[in-house]
Amino acid sequence: MLKKADTATTIILWNGREIPRLGMGCWAIGGPFYAGDVPLGWGEVDDDESIRAIERALDLGIRFFDTASNYGAGHSEAIIGRAIGNRDDVVIATKFGFATDEKTKQATGAFADPAFIRQSTETSLRRLRRDRLDLLQFHLNDFALEASDDVFGTLEALKVEGKIDAFGWSTDHPDRAARHAHRTGFVSIQHTMNVFEPVPAMVDVIERDDLISINRGPLAMGLLSGKFTPDKVVGEKDVRGASLDWMVYFKDGKIAPEFAARLEAVRNLLTEDGRTLTQGALAWLWARSRRTLPIPGFRTVAQVEENAGALVKGPLQADVMVKIDQALAGL
C-alpha cells in the first residue's frame, strides 16, 4: 500500500522504501521479437549501451526498473540481471502471461494457469539473478474477471512462499484494477497514462484503494519525446510500424494525424520553465496524482539522462495543468 511521500518527486513503496517517482521501462532494451512476421519489439539494440544506460540510471538515483518475461523473448530480463543482479537497493518489477521462445524470438501464446505462473516466476528469477521478485505483475490486460481469482490466488501463495514480495495487474480496465485490491500483497496497477490519455476512472480506483499507478506509455510510445516529425517513419523491426489494434499513436509507422494535432496544442505548455518535451510529459503525470510512477523507455544513456532530469523541476504547476486541459478540450 502506498504511503504519502515526503516530496513531490519521491514515493514510498509497499515495503517502506522511498524512491524517486520515476522508473525505467525496459521493453525496448529487449530487442526484437515477433508474432510471426509482426514485430513486437522496438528494433535492434546495443547490449553494452543498454547496460551503460542502466548503470547511469543507478548513478542518477533511479531505483525502479520494469520489464516482462516476454520482452525480447527474455533478453530484457537477462540484460537487467547482468547490470543489476541481486542488489537489494533496487526494485525490479516484471510480468508474466505471454510466452515466448528464447531461440526463435517468437511469441508462443498467452497463459495464466498455476503451473505456467510458477514456471515463469522461476525463469524470471534465473534471468534477473534475483533471490526474490520485488513485484510480479499479471500481463494479460483483458483477462476475465472471474478467472483472474485463481491467478491472484497463485500469486498470494508465491508471496507466502517468499518467491515474490508483492504483485499487481497490468491492465487498462478499472474493474480489473479494483477486483483484487483487498488481497494482501496486491499493491499496483500498471496502465497506459499520459497527457493524451488521462484515464480519470483508473486514477479514481487507484487513489481510492491506495495502489501505485505505474504509468506505461508516459511518452505515448515516443510521440512525446519530440523526436518525431509527421513524415518520419519508424524502422521495420519496430512495433510502432505494426498494424495492431492497440497501436493508436502511430499509423503505418508514422505519427497518427489526430495525435500530431494534440501534440502541437500542448508542446509549448509542456516545455515551459526550460523543460524538454519529455520532461514536461513526465511532470504532467506527477501533477496529475501523487500515486503516479511513470516508466519511460530507454535505449541510450542520453535518454536516461533526459528522463531523470525531469526530477529536478518536479511536477507542472496547477495553472499549466488547467491550460493543457483547455488546449486539448476541443481536439
pLDDT in tens, 137-161: 999 999 999 999 999 999 999 999 9
Q: In which element (H, E) is residue 160 found?
A: helix 148-160
pLDDT above 80 (res 246): yes
Residue 167 pLDDT = 98
Question: Looking at residues 50-57, what average pLDDT do you find?
Answer: 98
Q: Is 5 exposed, middle or buried (0-12, 13-18, 19+ CB in 10 A)?
A: middle
pLDDT in tens, 260-286: 999 999 999 999 999 999 999 999 999
Q: In which element (H, E) is residue 154 found?
A: helix 148-160
Percent of the chain with pLDDT over 90: 88
Domain spans of the chain?
Answer: 10-329
Lookup result for grid cell 542520453:
302
- Give Cα separations from 57 to 144, 242, 263, 283, 304 (angstroms): 37, 30, 27, 18, 6
Dihedral angle at the C-alpha atoms of 237, 239, 241, 32, nearest 10 degrees? 0
Residue 244 pLDDT = 82
Torsion sign, CA atoms 37, 109, 40, 258 = positive
Residue 1 pLDDT = 34
Considering the domain delimited by 10-329, tell me its CATH architecture.
Alpha-Beta Barrel (3.20)
* Closest by Cα among 306, 322, 298 to 28: 298
pLDDT in tens, 7-32: 689 999 999 999 999 999 999 999 99
Question: Looking at residues 186-208, what average pLDDT do you find?
Answer: 98
Kindly report the average pLDDT of the chain as a whole number: 95
Question: Looking at residues 281-301, what average pLDDT do you find?
Answer: 97
